[in-house]
A = this chain, B = another copy of it.
Amino acid sequence: MISVEQARERILAGLRPTAAEIVPLASAWGRVCAAAMASRLTQPPRDVSAMDGYALRAADGTLGARLRVAGSAPAGHPWDGTLGAGEALRIFTGSIIPDGADAILLQEDATRDGDGVTVNEAVTAGRHIRRAGQDFATGDVLVPAGKRLGARDIGLIAAGNHPWVAVHRQPRVAILATGDEIALPGEPIPPGGIVSSNSHALAALVRAGGGDPVVLPVAPDDRDAIAAAADAAAGADILVTTGGASVGEHDLVQDALAARGMTLDFWKIAMRPGKPLMHGTLGGVPMLGLPGNPVSSLVTAILFLLPAIARLSGLPGAPPAVTHAGLGAALAANDHRADHLRARLEPGADGALVATAFERQDSAMLRLLTLADALILRPPHAPAAPAGATVPIIRLDTLGI
């Protein structure tokens, strides 16, 4: 058995980011930028006013002075002339400061009458002027490659005058559930059967991670059927199977895929839930065999599949973010397997987070997992921890899972 960290490292080592594709800016939110986006313009393009008011020569803007209003320059309608001594130009936020002017008289500090304006507050040269290129200049990198595009990035790329963006193709994740007992939701359930929940939960998790799920038909517990189903994964960036990862009489996935040429890297991780986790390559497609029970399947997907999708997407592929919380109740010492306790999070008396593990940690209880706000991470051989001790956690409430 290998450790969680070793397993993640070995899974990620076999993955390369997908190639780039071109998408319209309006479809690029949430995608990962594949090439640095450099600005095509300078913003602001010239010195502009930060306020509504009048542009003038600083020397003219003394208290009580009266200037001739030479014109007006609303946004989008720049004034072409050069401002002379004793003149002022009516301007608005964003208006280009005309040649000759170097100061702004604020609207609220001015009295306008006819084509004249009186200065009620002396001006300061350069004040309320935004300099050309203050935000960015032509050629500046606005968004680096490898960043997941948020709304602000989309705005910035637009401001840099790009209608198209090169992004990494969303990783195609083929999902294969196996088992004679599996029925699709809403279909008749055979005697002793259960409804396929793993494939659909995993498909949603793939979406949460920014991937493109492909749910394959359920394969019965039959070597040939499993092997044939796995062929459908050709062209996927990763194949994920659920169930059949441990070696038992009815755990055929390993056998079936090995006969099809699967190269097996490892299949046991010192963790709970989810010890039997298979990793290998099948026909050049990386393959992750998750355990069949719903809690183990989702927990291992959080620990291994989400980072894999991140790596395939062109992101650093870091493990899920680990934060900390105080323990709401004591925990016993751990054995040799890294444990991932389903827990509730609440704000404590001092506002800091308190994590309390559910009393029942049965890995078949999907409903309980759904009620969990976090996983408490218990490393191998962690000593007993009293209430109040600080423990590492993975928050589940912000991952879309």
Cβ A194 vs Cβ B151 within 8 A: no
Selected contact of A191 from candidates B78, B324, B366, B368, CB within 8 Å: B78
Cβ A201 vs Cβ B151 within 8 A: yes
| Min CB–CB distance A124 → chain B (angstroms) | 17
| Min CB–CB distance A240 → chain B (angstroms) | 13
Cβ B158 vs Cβ A76 within 8 A: no
Interface SS of chain A: loop
Cβ B200 vs Cβ A158 within 8 A: yes
Answer yes or no: A18 CB below 8 A from chain B CBs.
no
Which residues of A, 286-305, contact B by the 8 Å Cβ criterion? 292-294, 298
Cβ A365 vs Cβ B135 within 8 A: yes
Cβ B186 vs Cβ A367 within 8 A: no
The stretch of A204-212, A259-267, A308-316, A329-337 that contacts the partner chain: A204-212
Selected contact of A248 from candidates B29, B43, B52, B159, CB within 8 Å: B52
Cβ A136 vs Cβ B92 within 8 A: no
Selected contact of A29 from candidates B158, B204, B250, B366, CB within 8 Å: B204
Answer yes or no: A96 CB below 8 A from chain B CBs.
yes
The stretch of A1-9, A115-123, A161-169, A277-285 that contacts the partner chain: A161-169
Bound CA span A192–B196, Å: 59
| Min CB–CB distance A207 → chain B (angstroms) | 5
| Min CB–CB distance A293 → chain B (angstroms) | 7
Task: Knowing A93-B293, A195-B159, say if A201 contacts B364 (CB, 8 Å).
Answer: no
Question: Nearest CB to that of A152 among chain B residues?
Answer: B370
Selected contact of A208 from candidates B29, B107, B158, CB within 8 Å: B29
Ordered by A's residue number, 25 sampled pairs between the chains whose C-beta atoms are within 8 Å are A30-B208, A43-B194, A50-B362, A74-B250, A75-B179, A76-B179, A76-B180, A76-B190, A76-B192, A78-B191, A93-B292, A93-B293, A94-B194, A96-B192, A135-B365, A150-B370, A151-B401, A154-B204, A155-B298, A159-B194, A159-B366, A163-B184, A163-B185, A163-B186, A398-B398
Find chain B residues with CB under 8 A from A184 CB.
Answer: 163
Bound CA span A215–B26, Å: 10
